[in-house]
Amino acid sequence: MIVLSDRRKSARRKVLDTALVRFGDLSMSCALRDVSETGAAIQVAAQSEVPDEFRLIVPRGKTVLCRAIWRQGAWIGVSFVGSKIVPGLE
């Protein structure tokens, strides 16, 4: 398990769900590991190249624009751009 320093603006809750990372014409599955009002942590395939900004499609087809804040191996911490919570996960 990866231990990261906690610099979050709001409390996150643990989840274990699948989502899609979409950028351009490409999409890839990812694991949604935790979520808060302002962001989330996702896990992608180890060698995946994910841009700094992308759309995250969460369960039930809701989409939110994300910006990568940190990366550690296959883990990416994201902030939600223009949204305070991922619709469908509240």
Q: Which residues contact 84 (CB under 8 A, 6 or more apart)?
A: 37, 38
Determine contact, residues 8/40, Cβ cutoff 8 Å.
no
Determine contact, residues 59/88, Cβ cutoff 8 Å.
yes
Q: What is the pLDDT of residue 48?
A: 85
70-80 pLDDT, tens digit per residue, is 999 999 999 99
DSSP state of 59: G
Choosing among 2.40.10.220, 3.20.20.100, 2.60.40.1120, 3.40.50.11060, the CATH entry for 13-80 is 2.40.10.220
Q: What is the pLDDT of residue 67?
A: 97
Q: What is the pLDDT of residue 11?
A: 75
Distance CA 16, CA 68 (A): 19
Residue 89 has pLDDT above 80, yes or no: no
Domain parsing of the chain, residue ranges: 13-80
Distance CA 51, CA 81 (A): 14
